[in-house]
Amino acid sequence: MEPDGRILFEKVLGKKPVFRENPGKISSVEALKNTESGFGLGFSEILDAENRLKRFAPFIKKTFPDAADGIIESELKPAFNFGREVLGLENNFFIKCDNRLPVAGSIKARGGIYEILKHAEKLVFNNRLITKNSDYSAFTSPEIRKLLSKYHVAVGSTGNLGMSIGIISAALGFRATVHMSHDAKGWKKDKLRSLGVNVIEHKGSYAEAVEKGRIQCMKDPDSYFIDDENSKDLFLGYSTAALRLEKQLDTMGISVNNDNPLFVYLPCGVGGAPGGISFGLKYIYGDNVKCYFAEPVNAPTVMLGLMEKRKINFIDYGFIMKTDADGLAVDSPSELVLDICGNLIDGTYTVPDEVMYSDLYNLKVYEDEKIEVSAAASLHGPLVTENRNKKGTHIAWLTGGLFVPESDYRVMLSLGHSFLSP
């Protein structure tokens, strides 16, 4: 363990807020070369994923009116009021509004939808119903839907990944099953069932839901399991966000260089979404972008995995699942992310639920943005990492919130306000 690592480790086990600068970080060029040679993932794979999403744009546009141009993307929005009043920043704090991402209303629309689209494309290609040059609005045709209805897809989820898989699977005609842990919010289960998705609830943890879903799919040759812990396709779906963010920053006239670095704060569950986004950003900006993963103090699974340099289960460290940030309520990290991001990202930090609730409330007050608790993990990043006094551009990545029922959201606001009260 690194110098002073034991002290930090004890703080993590004591459920104290912790910032850990990554001692394994190496140059982005070297880290990305390692990923290309070790996992076959490079910039060409990111571009391939982006091109696939562009091919599917006619289908998305025809099926989901909220994605007007057929591209599932969110606004990069200045949040100067929140930055000034809460973080002490001056006109350099932004929010990436995946809380309003079309189709699935969360960051999982990037990875989850991408993997299902790729799987559907492969099945249709194999049956010679279309080619890459076809108009992909054909995926709404009865012929293709009849074909896809013969196949089954499944995923284990605490909520938002299951939502994205269920929504896109139903739209394509797949039979879908979502295995959910007890931490998943009831309204997410209800939403999926309303779409005809089979929701199986497990009394155990996220890891148990994943494992049971995986075992069930192995028994059926026509089933396809989306493995949140190890999927390269999920990872690549998330990575395309970096290409879009680059264009948004260019449009805003914001340069990223040694004199004006970019700081990105990303909520982290198993690590797939923040890992994929960081992977893409490092290809574009190299060491001029600093990427930080944010986790609840009660579920620091990726931080523990990086400290121990192996896949862990936090139960073995005395943790129980006790966080309202359900999207981050996982007990084991992704091995793929540990391997790729162990020498790529710049740090990790943990935040208490009461801080997430307070920031959720303040974001509504100062920026009129509706988010869920998980999304708020990113907002305190500049303070926790002590980056607020550094020049550059700060982006908090918001991961979900669009579909949260108003009654649930009002409870969140009330709790947030109560944690701010003296």
Residue extents of the structural domains in the chain: 5-105+234-420, 108-230
Tell me which of 2 and 115 has the higher pLDDT. Answer: 115
* Domains 5-105+234-420 and 108-230 alike in fold: yes
Please write the tens of the pLDDT for every residue from 311-341: 999 999 999 889 999 889 889 999 999 999 9
List Cβ neighbours of 38 (8 Å cut-off, separation of 6 or more).
339
The candidate with the shortest Cα–Cα distance to 402, out of 194, 202, 191, is: 191
pLDDT surpasses 90 at 200: no
Q: Find where tokens 């006109």 sit.
A: 91
Confidence of residue 4 (pLDDT cuts 50, 70, 90): low
Better-scored residue on pLDDT, 200 or 185: 200
Q: Residue 339, SS3?
A: helix
The pLDDT of 276-280, averaged and rounded, is 98
Higher pLDDT: 188 or 32? It is 32
**Of 131, 99, 120, 217, whose CA–CA distance to 168 is shortest?**
120
Contacts of 344 (CB under 8 A, 6+ apart): 25, 28, 31, 32, 35, 278, 279, 282, 291
Task: Tell me if the domain spanning 108-230 has CATH number 3.20.20.70.
Answer: no
Mean pLDDT, the chain, whole residue set: 93
Pairing of strands 152-157, 175-181: parallel
pLDDT band at 262 (very low <50, low <70, confident <90, very high): very high
**CB burial class (10 A; 0-12, 13-18, 19+) of residue 111?**
buried
Q: Is the separation of the CB atoms in 87 and 104 below 8 Å?
A: no
Q: What is the pLDDT of residues 220-243, one digit of tens each?
A: 888 899 888 889 999 999 999 999
Pick the CATH number of 5-105+234-420 from 3.40.50.1100, 3.40.50.360, 3.90.170.10, 3.30.360.10: 3.40.50.1100
Angle between helices 272-285 and 232-239 (to 10 degrees): 50
Most confident segment among 148-157, 260-269, 317-326: 260-269
The sign of the dihedral angle between the CA atoms of 370, 375, 381, 383 is positive
The answer to whether 280 and 289 have CB atoms below 8 angstroms apart is no
pLDDT of 183 above 70: no
**pLDDT higher than threshold 80 for residue 388:** no
- Compute the average pLDDT of residues 185-191: 84
- Residue-level pLDDT at 14: 95
Asked if residue 20 lies in contact with residue 347, where contact means CB atoms within 8 angstroms, the answer is yes
Residue 211, class by beta-carbon neighbours within 10 Å (0-12 exposed, 13-18 middle, 19+ buried)? middle
Can you give the pLDDT at residue 179?
86
Encode pLDDT of 49-87 as tens digits: 999 999 999 999 999 999 989 999 999 999 999 999 999
Q: Is the pLDDT of residue 213 over 80?
A: no
CA–CA gap between residue 26 and residue 293 (Å, rounded): 17
